[in-house]
Structure 1
Amino acid sequence: MPADEIPVSKLKVPAGFKIELWASGMPNGRSMTESPNGTVFVGTRFTGNVYAVITKDGKREVKTIAKGLHRPNGVAFTNGSLYVAELSRIIRYDNIEQNLDNPPAPVVVFDALPKDEPHGWKFMKLSPDGQYLYFQIGTPANIVVPPSTHATIVRLNLKTNILETVATGVRNSVGMDFQPGTKELWFTNNGRDWVAEDKPSDTLNRLVRPKGMNFGYPHCHQGDFLDPEFGKGRSCDEFDKPVYNLGAHVAALGMRFYNGKQFPAEYKGNIFIAEHGSWNKTKRVGYQVVRVVLDSNNKVVKAEPFVTGWLDGENFWGRPVDVQMLKDGSMLVSDDETGAIFRVSYGK
């Protein structure tokens, strides 16, 4: 969508905050990551492009640094290199910030991932120690007993190139982040379709054990709902429970912990989740960024809308996908419908 046609004024944030158009011209822009130098890299699902957004004298310039890739949704940056998760492989662009106008050919890091298109796009997150790339391998269908390789969260060791499974029973996560302090992985998960309007819920989950957790798919959803087809003879007590149920069909995608200093103190440690919005529900839900507040025991105190306005009645003009905290403490929100990124800031 052309920048002058994006109705930013329709977006609403709490008192004291403001939201503005930060960059545009990135068709299908989705997952984001920021380099230490402030370059924001943006992946896509449908266009095959990867973008880089640089800021000069307060103005943004968008560069297309890769074309023709296959579902390059996930992006991560470390040691001067940009990692991109395609559908069935992980690739790497070395020394990329010095070559944004003439990017090098990518190095193939790992190319033995499944090739299933359904839920095949990856969200990717670098571990706090920089040793692992975490990403999901979604289920190859809406509801099916998946192969052991699917409905998982895995991690790739960047030193040994060994891939290992860290969680199973995860239908499809398209957002994850490590909690500051505990360094535990938290992630969103999308519930199955075609059961009912109000179930099962999308979930927020927490990896409290480094390996061996099973979150129930395809037998149990949302921690307490047995699947009508695959739940027979099973119990939800067999499986690990979500931290919080976010609502059915909201399409909870990108999530980040807020650890900056720009927002008021009570926002420290909060989780922000981008809800892409429903596609198969009579009355649309989602299409917003939600704030989740935790107590000192990591229990959810409340969840509330933080950015709204993409949905107008039953019509939507945008769909939030990911959130990214910038070093200055503000927050970016990507929108793959408009191809734009918005910035939420606090104060003057």
Structure 2
Amino acid sequence: MKYILLAGLLFASSANAEIALDYLKVPEGFKLSYFAEDVETARQLARSESGTVFSGSFSAKKVYAFKDTDNDGIADQRWLLMDGLKAPTGIAYKDGDLYVADVNKIIRFPQIDKNLDKPKSEVIYDQFPTDRHHGWKFLRFDSEGQLIVPVGAPCNICDANENYSKIFSLDLLTKKTKVIANGVRNSVGFDFHPQTNELWFSDNGRDMMGDDIPPCEINKVSFSGEHFGYPYFHGDDIADPEFGQGKKATDYSRPVLNLDAHVAPLGIHFYRGEQFPKGYQQNLLVAEHGSWNRSKKSGYRVMLATVESGEITDYKPLITGFMQDEITYGRPVAFLEMPDGSVLISDDFAHKIYRLSYSSL
């Protein structure tokens, strides 16, 4: 069974568009393989100290775990940790515990590695909005142990209340939240710069303004509570036809990079390893999930953004072939860097987790 994303929701599709590894093109020296297959609507990935890899999902409503016990780059054990959730897309691991975001709530699986066969879980926070539209999440812990959680707009375009269009930090002890960023339509991917520790995030631009506007965005947070324009302005200075009247573009932060319209950037990741060539180190991997409402499809690829002094100076393809001749074979979602420097990449259309590795031999 395949799934397609329309109006922000995944629907089953009977189209026969099975992906094959030789469809996907990578630069010389790189190799793609399957870490795990049949991972229904795989989304964000996380890893424990012992090597267990976890995956959230979208419409599958499941949380998975995998182990590669013989270190050959292929998962040979798997577990279904939980089923029947709403959209457990965001996951993070810290201090032995697995955290899963399921729209309005955060679920904790304590000491997960010791309980893979019989996992225990508890809801530790349930005060986020219940809207499913842009309600799916991405999770990451900051350097102070705060859980970073986005809450998207409950619409394509609207001026919602203070509970939406933001990135929050959640203190798991006090259960208090703090606004990290405002004016964020729908971020489903972020990472901290390895040197500056600034939070960089992707944001999906609004729909129904045409094929080529507004752009999707890569942004970085320079101060707490910074406003990135939604719903008043998009990209650098594109006024929204419904909400931009009477507003000034200069009142809002501009993107680090304007992407093509509707490419739907999801996961982003600063590569920290040493397996890939030097030109990849400290630079940003971007998963362009792909358009759904464009007359000619865009996105459907993994990109490399070169970052220099806080600016993106180059943006080029790393993996292509997920879409060919307007036929969708896959949609990249999120990244997980492994200890050996290889990178896992989830695909919620092909239901795969790929492993990207490099060798100069």
Same fold (TM over 0.5): yes
Task: Note the C-alpha offset of 1:128.
Answer: 2.3
The answer on 1:294 being equivalent to 2:307 is yes
| CA–CA distance in structure 2, aligned partners of residues 280 and 6 of structure 1 | 22
Q: Secondary structure at the match of 1:201?
A: coil
Q: Which residue of 2 aligns with 1:117?
A: 132
Q: Which residue of 1 aligns with 2:331?
A: 319
Q: Which residue of 2 aligns with 1:173?
A: 187
* CA contact 1:250–1:286 (8 Å) conserved in 2: yes
Counterpart amino acid of 1:224?
Answer: D
Task: Note the C-alpha offset of 1:64.
Answer: 1.1
| Mapping of residues 130-209 of structure 1, within 5 Å | 131-209=145-223
| CA–CA distance in structure 2, aligned partners of residues 32 and 189 of structure 1 | 19
* CA contact 1:26–1:62 (8 Å) conserved in 2: no
Counterpart amino acid of 1:252?
Answer: P
Q: Which residue of 2 aligns with 1:245?
A: 258
The answer on 1:80 being equivalent to 2:96 is yes
Task: Note the C-alpha offset of 1:196.
Answer: 1.3
Q: Which residue of 1 aligns with 2:319?
A: 307
| CA–CA distance in structure 2, aligned partners of residues 199 and 34 of structure 1 | 37
| Mapping of residues 205-284 of structure 1, within 5 Å | 205-209=219-223, 211-284=224-297
Task: Note the C-alpha offset of 1:6.
Answer: 3.9
Q: Kindly, what percent of the aligned residue pairs are identical?
A: 42
Q: Single out whichever of 159-168 and 141-150 deviates more from structure 2.
A: 159-168
| CA–CA distance in structure 2, aligned partners of residues 174 and 218 of structure 1 | 17
The answer on 1:68 being equivalent to 2:81 is no
Q: Which of the residues 102, 108, 112 maps onto 1:92?
A: 108
| CA–CA distance in structure 1, aligned partners of residues 212 and 66 of structure 2 | 39
Q: Which residue of 2 aligns with 1:331?
A: 343
Task: Note the C-alpha offset of 1:100.
Answer: 1.1
List per-residue Cα deviations over 1:94-127 (Å, max 9, x = no partner).
Answer: 01111111111x1111111111111000111111
CA RMSD for the aligned pairs?
1.2
Counterpart amino acid of 2:84?
Answer: G
Q: Secondary structure at the match of 1:247?
A: coil
Task: Note the C-alpha offset of 1:188.
Answer: 0.1
Structure 1 ranges of 4+ moved more than 6 A? none
The answer on 1:32 being equivalent to 2:48 is no
List per-residue Cα deviations over 1:53-88 (Å, max 9, x = no partner).
Answer: 111113412221111112111000001000000111
The answer on 1:344 being equivalent to 2:349 is no
List per-residue Cα deviations over 1:15-53 (Å, max 9, x = no partner).
Answer: 111111111121011111122222111001211100111
Task: Note the C-alpha offset of 1:241.
Answer: 1.0
Q: Secondary structure at the match of 1:71?
A: coil
List per-residue Cα deviations over 1:158-180 (Å, max 9, x = no partner).
Answer: 22221111111000000001111
List per-residue Cα deviations over 1:194-232 (Å, max 9, x = no partner).
Answer: 0111011110000111x1200000000012111011111
* CA contact 1:204–1:243 (8 Å) conserved in 2: yes
* CA contact 1:29–1:43 (8 Å) conserved in 2: yes
Q: Which residue of 1 aligns with 2:5?
A: none
Counterpart amino acid of 1:280?
Answer: N
Counterpart amino acid of 2:123?
Answer: V
List per-residue Cα deviations over 1:245-300 (Å, max 9, x = no partner).
Answer: 111000100011001010111211110011110000011010000100011x1111
Query: Which structure 2 segments of 5+ residues have no match?
Result: 3-17
Q: Secondary structure at the match of 2:259?
A: strand
- How many aligned positions are there? 342
Counterpart amino acid of 2:268?
Answer: M
Task: Note the C-alpha offset of 1:239.
Answer: 0.4
| CA–CA distance in structure 2, aligned partners of residues 37 and 199 of structure 1 | 45
**C-alpha distance 192-109 of structure 1, shift in aligned 2 (>3 A):** same
Query: Which structure 1 segments of 5+ residues have no match?
Result: none
* CA contact 1:32–1:43 (8 Å) conserved in 2: yes
| CA–CA distance in structure 2, aligned partners of residues 269 and 107 of structure 1 | 36
| CA–CA distance in structure 2, aligned partners of residues 341 and 47 of structure 1 | 15
